[in-house]
């Protein structure tokens, strides 16, 4: 569906009809993904309701099981057996439903990530069709846009793979080893099994937390449910904790909900700016300021890091692989916003994104 760099280089001219055809195919794919995302959202809502019911049932079953255990050795054997089986079934259903929730969340994250990429491609195609450039310049622009898009996608894939390998994958490998130890202890020292199981459960919770963090970074569900400010409050706080940085969020004005994907754009710009801070700035303090005005909203991300020469950095984006700056500008342009980056060597960096409402 997307034209490769080698194909673009081989094209002698830029055919407007061909570009229109590609744009149509991209549009259809975006529509299909919209339908898939809506279906996944509905299923996630149903799963959330089922989880709530199962947790209530588990609480009640555990209460009943605890009451029966408290009167041992008295009590009806059949009643105890029935209570145990009921509790075990509820726990199994709960675990399966939680796993289903994670699976659906991961799929939805992937769908929305693909939507973002395709919308960026669609905007690039629109720009190419609208430009009054000659065939040679048009082909070069298409080649550069295609190459940069693939490079950005590859960078993101590498980041996700690295986070998965360093986080949940390693933790799950440790859990497998721990499960094998517990398996051996069952026959040799049943008393130690209880202690090992407690550690095992803590390990599972840690993996679940890591997975949820990855899902949040890819596509925070709270962005749709609660809005931009609560999502950023959680994200900025966790950024500070994970990176040992004094990070805080300040909100000016009264928060309003924004449609048309603007909340997502603002979140992604803040996320990318903080990622750049973590990678390059060596900052001790980071501040994120969201300002709501009657007809305008802005996000400012500033740090006290090492700073940079903005013009020189953006001029060498391909060689230095600072695709974060390019991504932020494209996101701002996509929603008719303005992005300013101010920085001096040794004096920190400020990124300002402004959008009219």
3 state SS of 179: helix
Q: Which two tokens stand for residue 336?
A: 């008719």
Q: Which two tokens stand for residue 289?
A: 């300021």
Other C-beta atoms within 10 Å of 299: how many?
A: 24
- The mean-pLDDT minimum among 191-195, 257-261, 317-321, 322-326 falls in 317-321
Residue 290 CB-half CA count within 13 A: 20
pLDDT value at 9 more than 50: no
Q: First vs last Cα of the chain: how many Å apart? A: 34
pTM (whole model) above 0.75: no
Distances (CA, A) of 296 to 54, 253, 255: 44, 11, 11
Partners of residue 291 on adjacent β-strands: 252, 298
Pairing of strands 296-303, 349-356: antiparallel
**If you count them, how many residues does the chain have?**
357
What pLDDT shows up at residue 84?
Answer: 84
List of residues 6+ apart from 122 with CB closer than 8 A: 23, 26, 27, 30
What pLDDT shows up at residue 107?
Answer: 86
- The mean-pLDDT minimum among 75-79, 148-152, 253-257, 350-354 falls in 148-152
CA distance 5 to 34: 27
Does domain 222-356 correspond to CATH entry 3.30.565.10? yes
Instruction: Tell me the percentage of the chain whose pLDDT exceeds 70.
Output: 79
Partners of residue 352 on adjacent β-strands: 300, 340
More confident residue, 307 or 175: 307
Instruction: Tell me the percentage of the chain whose pLDDT exceeds 90.
Output: 16
More confident residue, 328 or 209: 328
Name the band, by pLDDT with cuts 50, 70 and 90, for residue 70.
Answer: confident
CA distance 108 to 277: 28
Distance of CA 253 to the CA centre of its chain: 27
Distances (CA, A) of 332 to 72, 115, 188, 257, 261: 67, 16, 63, 18, 11
């Amino acid at each position: 569906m997307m034209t490769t760099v080698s194909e673009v280089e081989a094209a002698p001219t830029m055919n407007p009809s061909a570009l229109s055809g590609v744009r149509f195919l991209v549009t259809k794919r975006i529509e299909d993904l919209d339908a898939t995302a809506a279906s996944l959202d509905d299923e996630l809502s149903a799963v959330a309701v089922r989880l709530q019911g199962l947790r209530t049932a588990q609480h009640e079953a555990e209460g009943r099981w605890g009451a029966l255990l408290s009167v041992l050795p008295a009590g009806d054997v059949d009643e105890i057996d029935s209570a145990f089986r009921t509790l075990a079934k509820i726990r199994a259903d709960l675990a399966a439903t939680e796993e289903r929730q994670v699976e659906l969340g991961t799929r939805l994250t992937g769908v929305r990530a693909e939507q973002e990429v395709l919308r960026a491609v669609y905007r690039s195609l629109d720009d190419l069709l609208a430009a009054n450039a000659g065939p040679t310049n048009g082909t070069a622009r298409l080649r550069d846009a295609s190459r940069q898009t693939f490079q950005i996608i590859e960078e993101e894939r590498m980041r996700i793979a690295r986070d998965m390998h360093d986080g949940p994958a390693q933790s799950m490998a440790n859990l497998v080893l721990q499960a094998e130890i517990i398996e051996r202890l069952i026959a040799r020292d049943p008393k130690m099994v209880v202690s090992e199981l407690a550690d095992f459960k803590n390990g599972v919770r840690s993996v679940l937390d890591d997975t949820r963090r990855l899902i949040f970074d890819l596509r925070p569900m709270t962005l749709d449910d609660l809005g931009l400010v609560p999502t950023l409050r959680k994200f900025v706080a966790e950024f500070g904790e994970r990176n040992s940085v004094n990070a805080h969020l300040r909100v000016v004005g009264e928060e309003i909900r924004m449609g048309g994907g603007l909340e997502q754009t603002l979140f992604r710009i803040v996320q990318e700016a903080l990622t750049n801070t973590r990678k390059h700035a060596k900052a001790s303090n980071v501040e994120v300021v969201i300002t709501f005005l009657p007809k305008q909203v802005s996000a400012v991300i500033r740090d006290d890091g090492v700073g940079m020469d903005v013009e020189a950095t953006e001029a060498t984006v391909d060689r230095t692989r600072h695709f974060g700056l390019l991504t932020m500008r494209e996101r701002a342009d996509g929603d008719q916003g303005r992005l300013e980056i101010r920085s001096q060597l040794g004096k920190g960096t400020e990124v300002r994104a402004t959008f009219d409402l």
